[in-house]
Amino acid sequence: MNEIFLMKLGEIVLKGANKRQFENKLRQNVRRRMKHYGNFDVYIMQSTVYVVPEDENADVDGAWEACHSIFGVVSLCRCRPCEKNVDAIYNAIEEYLGEDLDCARSFKVESKRSDKQFPLNSIQISQEIGGRLAEAHPSVKVDVRKPEYTVYVEVRDLAAYVHGPAEPGAGGLPTGVGGRAMCLLSGGIDSPVAAYMIAKRGVEIECVHFFSYPYTSQLAKDKVLELARLVTKYSGRMTVNIVSFTEIQEAIRDNCPEEYFTLIMRRFMMEIAQRLAKHDGCGALITGENLGQVASQTMEAMTVTGAVVDIPVFMPLVGMDKEEIVTISRKIGAFETSILPYEDCCTVFTPKHPKTKPTIGQLIHAEAKLDRQAMIDKAVETVERIQVKYHDEPRI
Ligand code: ATP
Ligand code: MG
């Protein structure tokens, strides 16, 4: 084979005794991702993941693109393996990187030798190879301080590898090392970003969406499923729980004071989400809440909505500006879908003057006419579970 990927492990290198477990998880995740693109051998040595295409028909470009969204990898490069001698290394560079080198005005060679048996040390490798390249490419100057292009040589245990500059990986921790959490996924900009951020910390994601047909349309549901699909590019496959929320919203409208509508509704969401979470082995909830963004996102409002659950509620966006959130939303490819105009159930029956400083006592009083537990039981019993994976057809 004449091209493989080398991916450098991120924070997991630091994890001491758990390192082996982290590496195994990462290897498993990479293997699973690569399956879609053909036959690849995946192994880890010296804090590096090797991804080796094993058949002619493998979709190497597709696999390369997919490797950029695997958590636990800080940087990655495509490279050419070759024999461990200077001639072979030089020839591999000429063949594999010669054209890139010719496009630059200046270059240097940077070498790393983890096989200490190799007769030249890293400085000597760089000097020897750099000298030969300079002679063969007289229009490209050697510049060891600020080169436009860097040729990398790595002499490792099994072979030598040559490559150009590495690209940034997805960072974070391998999916699955941090347990599982349930994200309350709306059709907005924030919650898909929140799901992505917690997934990045090694957490498997499951989602719940509250759906108020006919107040919100089938399109709104497809939009949420599409957002979930986009998140799976990073998080891996997930289940989306669709909770029919219409009856609960109508009961709130008919039986509760208007200024508390949103807060009561959100307390139902949290409690139902927690029931589903516990059922599926999720140890936390995730929301896209952001301090001060809307009336239901004050500290007091968060106190009354958080009071109905006893597992942690992760709000990774709580201190971010909208602009920062939008940047991530664009980066993960969710933004264009998030801004499609379909209604969310939160915008149905919104109070004209929502309470911004509610107390728990007020909420209990405002909910007094509702049989909350029976309503929650029913919602949980009638949940629709949809499996979503990245290679599904786009939903909208
Ligand atoms: P988003 O952009 O994620 O919709 P938002 O700024 O619109 O957030 P809210 O509508 O107040 O904020 O919702 C706050 C959080 O509550 C959302 O980020 C999401 O986690 C959750 N949420 C809101 N509506 C729904 C829904 N219909 N289904 C599931 N979760 C929801
Ligand atoms: Mg919203």
Q: Which pLDDT band holds residue 69 (cuts at 50, 70, 90)?
A: very high
Higher pLDDT, 123 or 297: 123
Q: Is the pLDDT of residue 204 over 80?
A: yes
**350 close to 262: Cβ distance less than 8 angstroms:** yes
Q: Is the pLDDT of residue 2 over 70?
A: yes
Q: Look at residue 295 in the predicted model and tell me its pLDDT.
A: 72
Residue nearest to atom 18 of ligand 1 (CA): 288
Q: Is the pLDDT of residue 244 over 90?
A: yes
Nearest ligand 1 atom to the CA of 212 is: 27
Q: What is the bridge-based pairing of β-strands 238-244 and 204-211?
A: parallel
CA of 202 to the centre of ligand 2 (A): 25
CA of 229 to the centre of ligand 2 (A): 18
Q: Which pLDDT band holds residue 345 (cuts at 50, 70, 90)?
A: low
SS3 (DSSP) at 31: helix
**Tens digit of pLDDT for each residue in 126-182?**
999 999 999 999 999 999 999 999 999 999 999 999 999 999 999 999 999 999 999
> Considering every ligand atom, which ligand is closest to the CA of 209?
1
Q: Look at residue 14 in the predicted model and tell me its pLDDT.
A: 61
**Ligand 1: residues whose CB is within 6 Å?**
184-186, 188-191, 208-210, 269, 287-289, 293-294, 296-297, 344-346
Residue nearest to atom 22 of ligand 1 (CA): 186
Q: Look at residue 346 in the predicted model and tell me its pLDDT.
A: 66
Q: Look at residue 253 in the predicted model and tell me its pLDDT.
A: 95
Mean of pLDDT values over 377-382 = 98
Cα dihedral value 72, 75, 78, 82, nearest 10: -90
**Nearest one of 28, 24, 25, 23 to 8, comparing CA atoms:** 23
CA of 233 to the centre of ligand 1 (A): 21
Q: Which pLDDT band holds residue 226 (cuts at 50, 70, 90)?
A: very high
CA of 237 to the centre of ligand 1 (A): 21
CA of 241 to the centre of ligand 1 (A): 15
* CA gap 272, 275 in Å, rounded: 5
Q: Which pLDDT band holds residue 185 (cuts at 50, 70, 90)?
A: very high
Non-local (6+) Cβ contacts of 191 within 8 A are 183, 184, 185, 227, 286, 287, 288
Q: Is the pLDDT of residue 370 over 60?
A: yes
Whether the full predicted model's pTM is greater than 0.85, yes or no, is yes
Mean of pLDDT values over 338-361 = 85
Cα dihedral value 295, 290, 394, 231, nearest 10: -150
Q: What is the mean pLDDT of the chain?
A: 95
Residue nearest to atom 21 of ligand 1 (CA): 184
Q: Which percentage of the chain shows pLDDT scores above 70? A: 98
* Greatest mean pLDDT among 27-41, 213-227, 293-307: 27-41
**Nearest one of 314, 283, 33 to 42, comparing CA atoms:** 33
Nearest ligand 1 atom to the CA of 187 is: 4
**Tens digit of pLDDT for each residue in 291-325?**
986 777 899 999 999 999 999 999 999 999 999 99
**195 close to 165: Cβ distance less than 8 angstroms:** no
CA of 86 to the centre of ligand 2 (A): 59
Nearest ligand 1 atom to the CA of 286 is: 20
